[in-house]
Structure 1
Amino acid sequence: MVLAQLGGSISHALKRMNDATVVDEKVLSDCLNEISRALLQADVRFGTVRDLQANIRRIVNLEALAAGTNKRRIIQQAVSSELCRMLDPGKPSFTPRKGKPSVVLFVGLQGSGKTTTCTKYAEYHRRKGFNPALVCADTFRAGAFDQLKQNATKAKIPFYGSYTESDPVKIAVEGVERFRNEKCDLIIVDTSGRHKQEAALFEEMRQVSEATKPDLVIFVMDGSIGQAAFDQAQAFKQSASVGAVIVTKMDGHAKGGGALSAVAATKSPVIFIGTGEHIGEFEVFDVKPFVSRLLGMGDLSGLINKIQDVMPADQQPELVQKLTQGTFTLRLLFEMFQNLLNMGPLGQLFSMLPGFSAELMQKGKEKEGQAKIKRYMTIMDSMTDEELDSTNPKLMNESRIIRIARGSGRLVRDVMDMLEEYKRIAKVMKNIPITKDVNPNSNTYMQQIIKALPPNLLKQMGGVAGLRTVMKQLSPKRVMS
């Protein structure tokens, strides 16, 4: 995903600044120029990039800083806050509430993935306890109703549409009324799109909007449209009172700068990002964690949320107990791999782990990494209970390794690779103290954590203060709630 390359470029610029012997005006200029180039290459508008650079320079006045001030941290905080400001319009979008009927209207150009996104949005809220329903008011595109019907059936979500009625306003009104009577609390209306912005599209959107009186209008934007995003988003905002944005197709070559442009044009927040074609490939967009990942500082709170979504609540205490016992076995590694595969794209998950993404998952090779994990799990399936639960490194002798290779249909070299990977991960887990009572204010505990972190990670996280914030996010009290 090219958005990850943007984050890599920005974090690289900050790393070069951190590695400089002295932070002076030249170092600051080089850092800002490198960040600006990365944003422009990601299709962020020139005016937006120019404003960001000017704002950072206004915040960071090197000559006015007192002696002994941590200039590196001030620059990093300024970059982070300005990126957050670019992505955050300062006002939240409408949030549906369970039990209270809400109508959400989806708009966008044809080909942006609008119909698929409607189903993803419905399925996300269904998992949160809502009773959603889908209405197909797209009478322009042949096959639109069939597509929505197929997606909704697969997700087990009620739907409404018509093969004979050509008036989208009538279909929308009938569908909304039907699902209101059926006590659905989230009614999602999919509207027509066009290949380009034209008067007929905007007039139809206006009519459907007036007839259904939606609580929220969501603009669905193809993440790969680049510089055209600003003008396109602005046109939809003027015609349909857009209140939120969803950016799709962020799993391929989309550069992601369009998300920044859409926020600037609509003054509305990005609320979700589509990261693939499947229904589950849909993630909540939260500005601060997103920028944190963009800068290479991880998003542990996001990772915890994913764990809570995927792992049943009754299994969470069991996992914590196993980790607190201080023994990291092959069986526990197998369970962790199993949970990771259920959580979503592995590249995104490892980007949430500060400092470990390069070790565990190489950028641009996520599919190979996923295949490797599945291969390792196949090998572990051929192990005995004794082998899976053992903490004795001498147990895995040559005869056992050969037997496991034959049983799993893999080469002996593959088994050896898996065991080496296990030893490396076990060493990392051993160095990070995990206790039932994490007290981020304890100096002793903090010193243990600091010793376990990779060399440059503490600096990236904003020093001890930043580390304390991360540890509060990691506290079991939050995980188990």
Structure 2
Amino acid sequence: MFDTLGDRLNKALDGVRGSGNLTEDQVKKVTREIRLALLEADVNYGVVKEFVSNVRERATGADVSKALSPGQQVVKIVNEELANLMGGTSHKLSFASRPPTVVMLAGLNGHGKTTTAGKLALFVRKLGKNPYLVACDTYRPAAIEQLQQIGRELSVPVYTEGTGPKPEEIAERGIKEAREGGYDFVIVDTAGRQVVDMDMMEEIKRVRSVSKPHSVLLVLDVVTGQNAVDVAQAFKEYADFDGMVLTKLDGDARGGAALSVVSVTERPIRFASEGEKMSEFDYFYPDRMAGRILGMGDVMTLIEKAEQQMDREEAQADAQRLMSGKFTFEDFLKQMQMIKRMGPISGLLGMIPGLGKQLKGVEIDDNQLARVEAMVTSMTVKERRNPKLLQNPSRARRIARGSGATQQDVQKLVKQFGEMQKMMKQMGKGGGMPKLPGLSGRR
């Protein structure tokens, strides 16, 4: 969602990147462009004013590095100030010394609160916790049903008493059940409204008083723009939340809310939610997000995504086969399926430093991966292990029929795979980087 902002900021910085001597006029020009870029992205005016002032002061002051040129220093300053704007460092969950840890979710309807409850449950289970969900939205039966469905999918128990009792009573009894059942992490899903109103705020106060949560997380949909900032300010006053979850970070919003809420509320963004999959949820890292905005990539997140999907010893064995030229379509299929679990190809490539800018205007079609996978799964095990068999036209025709592709598509894939095998073997001896078969973008 930061594509437009990133483009504008990079355009503003292009004029100083290679500059050996930085004049006061250059600093004024670049900070003026940065100011316009942030305002256009719907960042709060007061936040923009402070941000630009900080950049200008540091760029013209004594805060310089001998290792960097003046132009590079400005880029570094903007990167650091963007990270500071979003909180500076990540703020991770703390757990109760005497379980269960109770986390209460608050927010308006439609901001993804119930989905976040499920995502958070899966997230903490990966950390070794035993989660338990409590449904306290007594106004929307559909919300209770949604939470129950999520619980079934994740095999996480959901405590509910329907829409009859008061939410605070449900919360109290639900937490008691969790404690007695040996669950050490309780997520309380509260009711929302279409807009902020006093009834909702008073109800949240009562639920909070009874449940005594270790953390209150405000769930905010960044697509709502400046309205998200207004909502956050209202919840801060009445719900006294201690952290935020930003949802729909993969959307096409201008991004101003994500850059404004920390400064306006003085509360950190704890989690980022991207996509509809339950696994697309993680701690929010301001420094990594700043790097992505400025096209510097996000290698750490890319590595973590990969580590979640592969076994280290297995990965080393795959790499050895790849470099020896013995990599088969069976290995390739396994790698494709791993990449799919990591997320959209375009998003992954954007995390590689410098590549996001190079790919500007290139459409990376994730459906291409599915088409390649369909062709590979239409091969027999014998064919996958011995790609030379696929030089037979009758085999190519059969695979094409089975995958909905053309015979030419299959032959092209086989040819590219053969070239990749040769090039990877050369790379193992010091050659260059090959192109992944079937995944060329288009301009």
Q: Conserved in 2, the CA contact under 8 Å of 1:160 and 1:175? A: yes
Shift of 1:329: 5.7
- Aligned counterpart, 1:61: 60
Shift of 1:252: 2.8
Q: Deviation per CA, 1:249-304: give whole Å up to 9, x if none.
A: 22333322212222122222212222223322323321112211221111122111
- Aligned counterpart, 1:379: 375
Counterparts in 2 of 1:59-458, with a 5 A limit?
Answer: 59-61=58-60, 70-88=69-87, 92=91, 94-96=93-95, 100-313=99-312, 315-323=314-322, 325=324, 330-357=329-356, 365=363, 369-383=365-379, 404-406=399-401, 408-415=403-410, 418=413
- Among all aligned residue pairs of Structure 1 and Structure 2, give the percentage whose two residues are the same amino acid: 33
> What amino acid sits opposite 2:406 in the alignment?
L
TM-score, length of structure 1 as denominator length: 0.78
Shift of 1:132: 0.2
| RMSD between aligned residues | 3.6
Q: Distance in 2 between matches of 1:87 and 1:294?
A: 12
Shift of 1:144: 2.0
For residues 420 and 3 of structure 1, do their structure 2 counterparts lie closer, same or farther at Cα, with a shift above 3 Å needed?
Answer: farther
Higher mean C-alpha displacement, 193-202 vs 406-415: 406-415
Shift of 1:201: 1.1
Q: Distance in 2 between matches of 1:210 and 1:63?
A: 50
How many pairs are equivalent? 434
- Please list every run of 5 or more consecutive structure 1 residues that lacks an aligned counterpart in the other structure: 435-447, 453-481
Shift of 1:375: 0.7
Q: Deviation per CA, 1:54-86: give whole Å up to 9, x if none.
A: 111111128997999612220111011000100
For residues 176 and 89 of structure 1, do their structure 2 counterparts lie closer, same or farther at Cα, with a shift above 3 Å needed?
Answer: farther
Q: Distance in 2 between matches of 1:111 and 1:211?
A: 25
Q: Distance in 2 between matches of 1:421 and 1:98?
A: 56
> What amino acid sits opposite 1:409 in the alignment?
G
Shift of 1:240: 1.8
Q: Conserved in 1, the CA contact under 8 Å of 2:17 and 2:75? A: no
Q: Distance in 2 between matches of 1:246 and 1:287?
A: 13
Shift of 1:13: 3.5
Higher mean C-alpha displacement, 4-13 vs 225-234: 4-13
Partner SS, residue 223 of structure 2: coil
Q: Conserved in 2, the CA contact under 8 Å of 1:179 and 1:187? A: yes
Q: Deviation per CA, 1:18-63: give whole Å up to 9, x if none.
A: 3669754454444333333332222211211121111111111289
Q: Distance in 1 between matches of 2:261 and 2:64?
A: 35
Shift of 1:319: 3.0
> What amino acid sits opposite 1:167 in the alignment?
K
Q: Distance in 1 between matches of 2:109 and 2:291?
A: 33
Q: Distance in 2 between matches of 1:295 and 1:428?
A: 32
For residues 143 and 47 of structure 1, do their structure 2 counterparts lie closer, same or farther at Cα, with a shift above 3 Å needed?
Answer: same
For residues 101 and 155 of structure 1, do their structure 2 counterparts lie closer, same or farther at Cα, with a shift above 3 Å needed?
Answer: same
Q: Conserved in 2, the CA contact under 8 Å of 1:93 and 1:243? A: no
Q: Conserved in 2, the CA contact under 8 Å of 1:98 and 1:185? A: no
- Aligned counterpart, 1:34: 33
Q: Conserved in 1, the CA contact under 8 Å of 2:21 and 2:70? A: no
Q: Distance in 2 between matches of 1:430 and 1:50?
A: 54
Shift of 1:398: 7.4
Higher mean C-alpha displacement, 199-208 vs 411-420: 411-420
TM-score, length of structure 2 as denominator length: 0.84
> What amino acid sits opposite 1:154 in the alignment?
E
Shift of 1:314: 5.1
Q: Conserved in 2, the CA contact under 8 Å of 1:3 and 1:255? A: yes
- Aligned counterpart, 1:472: none
For residues 57 and 200 of structure 1, do their structure 2 counterparts lie closer, same or farther at Cα, with a shift above 3 Å needed?
Answer: same
For residues 10 and 425 of structure 1, do their structure 2 counterparts lie closer, same or farther at Cα, with a shift above 3 Å needed?
Answer: farther
Partner SS, residue 247 of structure 1: strand
Q: Deviation per CA, 1:224-268: give whole Å up to 9, x if none.
A: 121122222122112122111001122333322212222122222
